[in-house]
Amino acid sequence: MNSEDRRAASLTPVVVAVGVGVAWAGSQGGIVAGSLPAFAVCGVLVFAINWIAFVPAYLRRTERFFDLTGSITYISAVMTALLLTGARDARSLLLGTLVIVWAVRLGAFLFARINRDGKDARFDEVKMSFPRFLGAWTLQGLWVLLTLAAALGAITSASVRPLGMFALVGSSVWAVGFAIEVVSDRQKKRFREDPANQGRFIQSGLWAWSRHPNYFGEIVLWFGVALIAFPELAGWQYVTLVSPVFVYFLLTRISGTPLLEERAEAKWGDDPEYRAYRDRTPELFMRRPVSS
């Protein structure tokens, strides 16, 4: 076992431990289903789904179903929370609906993309290593749990509060973020499908406002979810508000913009047109393009 394999093997229990801590915090003041808090049941489920999916993925050395499994995990966790709590109030139904709509749309988009491209370069080496590939699937379980934490905390909360200003503002923020993510994904898809753009980078549409508008939209929509959930949270449940902060950190420091920026720099770093685009366009937060 090389150093990277050992590192992955040592980090996996840490990832699980963080998930246990978040599940404990989110379960405080929440509904108990049988002998277990409903939040904790959802926490167990998100890891179980990814570990089960890992087995055939590793045997076939494929990442084809990685993102699709992530979307299925989101949907399964939310549906389980709604079923265990009886979907008692409008806030729970609103949160569940928004998460499912987002997960279905993004899951279908990412699955179609990997079927078109054939592979995800992030996994070229990782999928050949048992501990590193298992670590990736385990991390996806934590990703789902942390991202969903605020929504799950509100859905499984023992208290029920009527919808109010937080729900209105949060829904509006979610809608803006969702629209930005959908539009930017479609613009990039159309750009890549045009043979004339082979080997070129997109710098039109929302991509003139930000180098990663799809990630900006995703961060915004999860802040909207947290706003909707906020009135139902109390005590240790406030830990679940880490959700949008985690999404921001993940997409800007770990698996999102850093990897894409590195690839773009390697591919177009010597291209004057790309240097000009990079200089005038924010990396993440959107800004109206300045007319030349």
* Tens digits of residue pLDDT in 73-97: 999 999 999 999 987 789 999 999 9
Looking at residue 165, its pLDDT comes to 94
How many angstroms separate the CA atoms of 74 and 141, rounded? 9
Tell me the pLDDT tens digit for each residue of 22-63.
999 999 989 898 889 999 999 999 999 999 999 999 998 988
Under 8 Å between Cβ of 136 and 13: no
Among 29-38, 79-88, 123-132, 140-149, the least confident range? 123-132
Under 8 Å between Cβ of 209 and 133: no
Q: How far is CA 119 from CA 114, 128, 217, 245, in A?
A: 6, 14, 25, 29
**Once rounded to an integer, what is the mean pLDDT over residues 167-190?**
96
Instruction: List the domain boundaries for the chain.
Output: 3-280
CA 41 to chain centre: 20
How many angstroms separate the CA atoms of 106 and 85, rounded? 26
Looking at residue 173, its pLDDT comes to 97
Among 90-94, 141-145, 160-164, 238-242, the least confident range? 160-164
pTM of the model: 0.91
Looking at residue 34, its pLDDT comes to 80
Question: 128: pLDDT confidence band, cut at 50, 70 and 90?
Answer: confident
Whether residue 185 is predicted with pLDDT greater than 60 in this model: the reply is yes
Q: Taking Cα atoms as reference points, which of 211, 193, 207 lies closest to residue 259?
A: 211
149-170 burial code (b ≥16 CB/10 A, e <16): bbbbbbbbbeeeeeeeebbeeb
How many angstroms separate the CA atoms of 223 and 181, rounded? 14
Looking at residue 2, its pLDDT comes to 78
Q: Write out the H or E segment, with its range, that includes residue 33.
A: strand 32-33
How many angstroms separate the CA atoms of 231 and 160, rounded? 9
DSSP letter at 288?
A: P
Q: Taking Cα atoms as reference points, which of 36, 35, 39, 6 lies closest to residue 22?
A: 39
Question: 120: pLDDT confidence band, cut at 50, 70 and 90?
Answer: confident
How many angstroms separate the CA atoms of 19 and 138, rounded? 10
How many angstroms separate the CA atoms of 279 and 285, rounded? 14
Whether residue 149 is predicted with pLDDT greater than 90 in this model: the reply is yes
Please state the φ and ψ torsions of residue 32, each to the nearest 5 degrees. -105, 130
**Once rounded to an integer, what is the mean pLDDT over residues 163-185?**
96
Looking at residue 291, its pLDDT comes to 63
DSSP letter at 48?
A: H
**Residue 183, class by beta-carbon neighbours within 10 Å (0-12 exposed, 13-18 middle, 19+ buried)?**
middle
**Once rounded to an integer, what is the mean pLDDT over residues 161-171?**
93
Task: Give percent of the chain with pLDDT exceeding 70.
Answer: 99
Looking at residue 241, its pLDDT comes to 94
The sign of the CA dihedral 166, 168, 171, 175 is: negative
Please state the φ and ψ torsions of residue 240, each to the nearest 5 degrees. -65, -15
Q: Taking Cα atoms as reference points, which of 123, 149, 147 lies closest to residue 136?
A: 123
**Once rounded to an integer, what is the mean pLDDT over residues 91-107?**
95
Q: Write out the H or E segment, with its range, that includes residue 262.
A: helix 257-268
How many angstroms separate the CA atoms of 138 and 16, rounded? 8
